[in-house]
Structure 1
């Protein structure tokens, strides 16, 4: 219920209550707030239980769309569009390629023009043999 209220806000409320109510009435007010919250929680639980008893299995069918709506709280439209357009490829243009030629598309820049280090025929690096160590680029490390 208090998911968005942090400890800082609670501390501010306690200090404000201390100044407004004074140290004599603050414990009584805190007890009243606690009892009220407990009553509200009991009413909500009783209402949910009564609905479940009256509706039977239809209650679960009603709750499913509500749970789906709660799942939309973490909806990220940018991520969804990227997954839909690029089939989940996080780097569709190859901009994070290690060889530094501007992309993983044969030496061309993201705009399609040849990069500075592009050759006429793009060559695939040979795969390493078992036990062979990869080449080290001292400038990159």
Structure 2
């Protein structure tokens, strides 16, 4: 994350800071900026260690690239689906899916004045 900052842009920002702040106050400003950067680094390290403590060792096992929302671009998903080769279906595979018995369905319970639905104390 460089935010589009190149070396030339950083040099220009530094030059403008020297002109605005002036040579007398520049050392104090550089010290306070260094202190700010140090505190930000400590804050990030502390946050990272607290996350590891709270999440446990599973945090290292997470593949964060899979959770990147940019990979779910609808245009890319549709394009991939359109250009994907269809899977060949064999008659045996079709017959196996047809021949599988469906699980018997049970009727949903009927509630009335005698047979009340269960009470959920945590609901709303």
**What TM-score do the two structures reach when normalised by structure 2?**
0.49
Flag the structure with more relative contact order, 1 or 2, with Cα contacts below 8 A and sequence separation at least 6.
1
